[in-house]
Amino acid sequence: MSQYLWLGASIIFTLVIAQVPGTLTPEEHPKLITQKCTKDGGCIPVDTAIVLDASYRYIHEVGGYTPCASGAFNSTICPTVEVCAKNCEVEGADYSTYGIKTAGDALTLNLFTTKEGILGESSPRVYLMADDSTYDMLKLLNQELAFDVDMSKVPCGINGALYLSEMPNNGGLNGLNKVGAKYGSGYCDAQCPKQAFINGMANIDQSFGACCNEMDIWEANSAAAAYPPHSCNITGVYACTGDLCGSKGVCDQSGCDFNSYRLGAREFYGPGKTIDTTKKFTVVTQFLTDDGSSAGKLQTISRIYIQNGAVIGNSNVNVPGVDPVSSIDDSYCTSQVKAFGGSGTFEKLGGMAGLGSALSRGMVLIFSIWMDAGSGMLWLDGEYPLDANATKPGVARGPCAADSGNTTMLANLYPDAQVKWSNIKVGDIGSTFGGLKAF
């Protein structure tokens, strides 16, 4: 682990180069009210906001209009990392054109937008901000995160995701990276994406990936839902290369997921089911420690739902070889791998203790909606892998058809696909939904 940490720090320290703020479009962050809750004081509103990821923005040559990158970097504007930093600037965003809307405590993300009469994919990704230049770093040990969500317009093949990543609180801002969190810089996750900029560094030949610890609170559509933690054996953003970016690298890319359908509770989540996805409901995720304090070690990640005024416990596992539990801990992750197959990288790369350390340092809350042209989102809501026997435990992850994630079909049938989150709360265990009765 130590050599990975050293290499990551070395790359980021010597090569963090970024664009400067542009002058064409001012950046104004849409407000999104959240709440902080305690057992004794109840919940109080917090003036937070959201910011669009930097990679979605217009990044162009200084004093001109030519994009610095359109797929590949413009070799004239960006022949080297250092020159690219001098030659490029990043603009503010008109959030409505990306299908992003806030109203009080509610955030709506649309998958598609229409411009000049033409429907196009937007797939926006935004981050929660504490102030105009700093991400809101959630430290969730012995805490819970709650939100209301409307999944009724998120069909098979689409993912309305809410998750945490160990991004830098200032977006990698420094003397050379002058945009930082204000412009949505610094993204990373456990898939180690090879994006155009890593912490503001121009990834000119796409040789680096941006790795970090990730906790998927909500990977879902109206047919299926999962919440997998992903551990990494590095701290913060790590710029990986080669095999270290892949499935045998520094991060657990598969995750230790809890998907009710996959785990045998096929009538628990979906339209007209126990959690009826035709209606709004509340999702509560609790990060329980071994000693019941924020200084303890992460032991269990539990899930509670609330709908129609009733508290509904998570479904129990109904798979041979796995205890009938309703939450995630190290024992569950180990037995799930034995039952479904896999490499067990979550445990090997840190497990609950590793993810808990990231939660203690603070992680950024991320909202997105997207579709997956590669797998059709079947890893979430259908039978996957495609060549596997559907009767084998763990293959069926949801009820969706093999072609349900066809992106052209989704655009034609669901041009209004959207997810809406609201009533986002962070607080002491049991403080976000006090007074409601269990079902």
Residues annotated as part of the active site: 214, 219
Half-sphere exposure of 333 (CA within 13 A, CB side): 27
Alpha-helical (H) ranges within 216-350 are: 330-340, 345-348
Task: Report the DSSP pairing between strands 269-270 and 275-276.
Answer: parallel
Whether the CA torsion 19, 20, 23, 28 is positive or negative: it is positive
Which residues, in sequence order, are CB contacts of 197 under 8 Å at separation 6+?
18, 19, 54, 55, 185, 203
The single-letter code of the amino acid at 253 is Q
- Cis peptide bond N-terminal to 79, omega within 30: no
Rg for the chain, CA atoms, rounded: 21
Helix (H, G, I), strand (E, B) or coil at 264: coil
Answer left, alpha or beta for residue 294, where phi above 0 means left and psi between -120 and 50 means alpha. Answer: alpha
Taking CA 391 as the corner, what is the angle to CA 386 and CA 396, rounded to the nearest 5 degrees? 55
- The number of angstroms, rounded, from the C-alpha of 28 to the middle of its chain's C-alpha atoms is 23
Which residues, in sequence order, are CB contacts of 424 under 8 Å at separation 6+?
32, 34, 35, 105, 145, 146, 147, 365
Retrieve residue 318's tokens. 């109904």
Retrieve residue 166's tokens. 């160990």
- Of 17, 37, 48, 232, residue with least CA distance to 135: 48
- d(CA 5, CA 23) in angstroms, rounded, equals 37
Retrieve residue 193's tokens. 């994406």
